[in-house]
Amino acid sequence: MDVRSLLERLWQDYAALNPQAGKIHALLAALGERIVNDHVALRGIDDPRLCLERLARPFVAAGYRVGGEYEFREKKLRARHYQPPESDLPLVFVSELRLAECSSELRAIVTALLDQLPDGFGEREDLPVAGRPWQVRFSEYEALCAESEYAGWVAAFGLRANHFTVRVNALQRFGDLVELDAFLVRIGFALNDAGGRIKGSAVVYLEQSSTLAEPVEVEFSDGVRRIPGCYYEFARRYALPSGELYTGFVERSADRIFESTDRR
């Protein structure tokens, strides 16, 4: 599959699940802004069929290359970001849950979900946007979230973009992330305050903030419930001493950004 077509499908699916992204996109466009997507994020499980490498495969085939490796020990996650082959394409950030570090109860629920996958599912060219391929009960979702909000999100939503990101550097009307965040709060969007509204700083060459995921209706096998869906992120990157723009991620900041989908 052409990587630009895959990215467009990811955006359309994400925007349908997260109306706040479309609203913010439209508000910025109405101000004359050209919105540049900094990165798109995917979530997986370290099972061979849905692991980080599987989700990244379509991007690697299109010329993306590994840019950095990350560990989130408390959340039992590992992640990797991929650099695009062309400057107008976004970075891709892929993470996965380390099942071996989770409880036997969590592993049993996740294994039961994975056992529902049809043969060859992990080989799909459109795996990053394949959606939820299993049935899951709300009680299972709650049990997963009690240990790992990340696992609960993947169980409920499956394979799709967890978030897209506005590159603040490309905006003209907002001098920095403080101004953009103030604008968003003023018009009614709730932002993630975990660890401070703005995560990171110029010292680490990256500042990030994000909306809180709004509740959306999800069909579980035992009924429809409203749970947090996706969020929209905003990133400002700074130049390295070499003069090149920093293209990596900061583990401490990303750790708190993950919490944008937590239940509250």
Task: For 19-63, write each residue's pLDDT tens digit.
Answer: 999 999 999 999 999 999 999 999 999 999 999 999 999 999 999
Two tokens, residue 55: 């989700």
**pTM given for the model:** 0.95
- Domain span at residue 211? 3-261
Q: Which SS3 state, helix, strand or coil, does residue 173 take?
A: coil
Q: What is the pLDDT of residue 263?
A: 78
CA distance 60 to 57: 5
Two tokens, residue 152: 């609960």
Question: Residue 189 pLDDT more than 90?
Answer: yes
Phi-psi region of 195 (alpha: psi -120 to 50; beta: other; left: phi over 0): left
Q: Structurally, how many domains does the chain consist of?
A: 1
- Residue 183 sits in a domain whose CATH number is 3.10.180.50
Q: How confident is the model at residue 259 (pLDDT cuts 50, 70, 90)?
A: confident
User: In this structure, are residues 155 and 113 in contact, taking their beta carbons and an 8 Å threshold?
Assistant: yes
Two tokens, residue 26: 């439209």
Q: How confident is the model at residue 5 (pLDDT cuts 50, 70, 90)?
A: very high
Q: Which SS3 state, helix, strand or coil, does residue 29 take?
A: helix
Averaged pLDDT score across all residues of the chain: 95
Q: What is the pLDDT of residues 135-176, one digit of tens each?
A: 999 999 999 999 999 999 999 999 999 999 999 999 999 989
Question: Residue 264 pLDDT more than 80?
Answer: no
